[in-house]
Amino acid sequence: MSMSPERKRDLVLTLLIFAGMVLALLYGWGAQRSPLLLSALPWFSWMGVLFKQLLMVIIYPLVLASMVVGVVNLGDIRKVGGLAGKGLLYFMTTTALAVALGLILVNVFNPGEGVNLDLGQPPEDLVAHEFGPFFLEMLKNTFKNPFKSLAQGDVLAILSFGLLLGAVTSTLGDAGKPVARFFEGLNQAMMRLTDWVMWLAPIGVFALLAEVVALQGFEAVYALKDYVFVVLLGLGLHGFVVLPLLGWILGGVSPLKLFAGLRRPLAVAFSTASSAATLPVTMDAVVEDLGVKPRVAGFVLPLGATVNMDGTALYESVAVLFIAQVMGVELTFGEQVVVFLTATTAAVGAAGIPGAGLITMTLVLGAVGLPIEGIGLILAVDRLLDMVRTSVNVAGDATGAVILNRFTPADPELDGPPPTESIAA
């Protein structure tokens, strides 16, 4: 059986990324034992940062362009509203499922019982957020000077600008066409750039992972093993059972195809711990490998990377109950309902960057009267768990795109010609 050159390249790249991950584990293990190996670490940190910066080059123009193009191509505002409504319904339902799963597991396994640990210190810059003010502030900052939001990498504000610009452009008739074509070109350019940057992914993934393993080792995991176990079990069940089943039943994509299609976004999410940084790769994979219409992916994925965080929500609920258990505080059923509600919303407020879940967890802790110092308990393993929860966040977004794609009828005018041709014409 002969393989197309593209398939061959794809396979080579996947194997290289996988090799990068294995090498990183070996290196991290060795660096904990050999100062010589450890001395290479600054170089690896440098490479890891460079890889992430390259992804940053793509994200912000991509978020803006894909939103504008997505909205313009959806045509009229009712279709935008329909897709946004279905998207939000999917986001909220799956997030709530994840939190419920986390709460059930933490009540069954009681990982914090009998654990004797110091509360430790929360990160210095961590402040206790209160629910109302946090969300009012976030809502206010949804609209701001678009140039400022692009410069500051404020994804929520870029999204809202893209939405408005796309909506208004589509009402302009001929005058709006150059604007739409400009963003269509920009969108495709960013996607192509993603393909290029992916060739550095094996090195980037290696470098980012090597740093984490070399610096953190596995001792911290051991001390918190029951907590880590419950979080990983929950994330595993959600990521490997709930989401694939939904994708299969509602989206018509088999779990095998789903995971094959998501191999790269998952590797990048795992190593960067950032769903925003992974967005270009997710977009590419969902369109190219899972056959989602670009206009659906362009609308659903940026939104999902910002508000849909199943993994984060699950982890926050487990972490808060774990902290309560270690502190000997028994949370009543009513208080657990409060955790359910606040963790679901706090995940929406978390940005798609490393460690964001820790910050919004202060909202959940505050809602049930636990001190933010409790976060000090789980800090040592947070990066590791962040890598896994980010992967689940990304899988949740991609599954959403697959499902919503099925509920968005094909339109030959919008989906017909391949994108490159439509530009050349």
Footprint on residues 292-321 left by ligand ASP (CB under 6 A) = 309, 312
Q: What one-character DSSP code corresponds to residue 123?
A: -
Q: Are 385 and 375 in contact (CB under 8 A)?
A: no
- The closest alpha carbon to 191, from 297, 72, 268, 263, belongs to 297
Q: Would you tell me how many other CB atoms lie within 10 Å of the CB of residue 145? A: 11
Q: Shortest gap between Cβ of 230 and ligand ASP (angstroms)?
A: 16
Which residue, 284 or 386, is less far from ligand ASP as judged by CB? 386
Q: Shortest gap between Cβ of 158 and ligand ASP (angstroms)?
A: 16
Which residue, 55 or 309, is less far from ligand ASP as judged by CB? 309
Q: Shortest gap between Cβ of 341 and ligand ASP (angstroms)?
A: 18
Q: State the virtual CA torsion across 385, 392, 310, 125 in degrees, nearest 10.
A: 40
Q: Shortest gap between Cβ of 356 and ligand ASP (angstroms)?
A: 4
Block residue for tokens 């849909």: 308
Name the segment binding ligand ASP (CB under 6 A); options: 94-102, 113-121, 157-165, 382-390: 382-390
Q: Shortest gap between Cβ of 11 and ligand ASP (angstroms)?
A: 28
Q: Shortest gap between Cβ of 382 and ligand ASP (angstroms)?
A: 8
Q: What one-character DSSP code corresponds to residue 372?
A: G
Q: Shortest gap between Cβ of 40 and ligand ASP (angstroms)?
A: 26
How far is the C-alpha of 149 from the C-alpha of 172, rounded, in Å?
25
Copy the structure tokens of residue 419: 């994108």
Gyration radius from the chain CA atoms: 22
Q: Between 48 and 87, how does the x/- string for binding to ligand ASP read (CB under 6 A)?
A: ----------------------------------------
- The closest alpha carbon to 169, from 84, 65, 280, 82, belongs to 65
Residue 396 in the binding site for ligand ASP (CB under 6 A): no
Q: Shortest gap between Cβ of 136 and ligand ASP (angstroms)?
A: 22
Task: Encode 196-248 in three state secondary structure.
Answer: HHHCCHHHHHHHHHHHHHHHHCCHHHHHCHHHHHHHHHHHHHHHHHHHHHHHH
How far is the C-alpha of 184 from the C-alpha of 178, rounded, in Å?
10
Which residue, 72 or 230, is less far from ligand ASP as judged by CB? 230
Dihedral pair phi/psi, residue 3, rounded to 5°: -110, 145
Residue 390 in the binding site for ligand ASP (CB under 6 A): yes
Q: Which residue is nearest to ligand ASP (CB)?
A: 357
Which residue, 65 or 356, is less far from ligand ASP as judged by CB? 356
Q: Shortest gap between Cβ of 317 and ligand ASP (angstroms)?
A: 12
Which residue, 60 or 248, is less far from ligand ASP as judged by CB? 60
Largest CA distance in the chain: 69
How far is the C-alpha of 66 from the C-alpha of 50, rounded, in Å?
24
CA-to-CA separations, 258 to 26, 66, 361, in angstroms, rounded = 29, 22, 30
Selected from 389, 397, 398, 400, the binder of ligand ASP by CB under 6 A is: 389
Q: Shortest gap between Cβ of 353 and ligand ASP (angstroms)?
A: 6
Residue 235 in the binding site for ligand ASP (CB under 6 A): no
Copy the structure tokens of residue 175: 């005058």
Footprint on residues 333-372 left by ligand ASP (CB under 6 A) = 350, 352-357
Which residue, 58 or 273, is less far from ligand ASP as judged by CB? 273
Copy the structure tokens of residue 168: 């208004």
Footprint on residues 265-294 left by ligand ASP (CB under 6 A) = 273-275
Selected from 282, 393, 405, 408, the binder of ligand ASP by CB under 6 A is: 393
Please give the residue ranges that form the binding site for ligand ASP (CB under 6 A).
273-275, 309, 312, 350, 352-357, 386, 389-390, 393
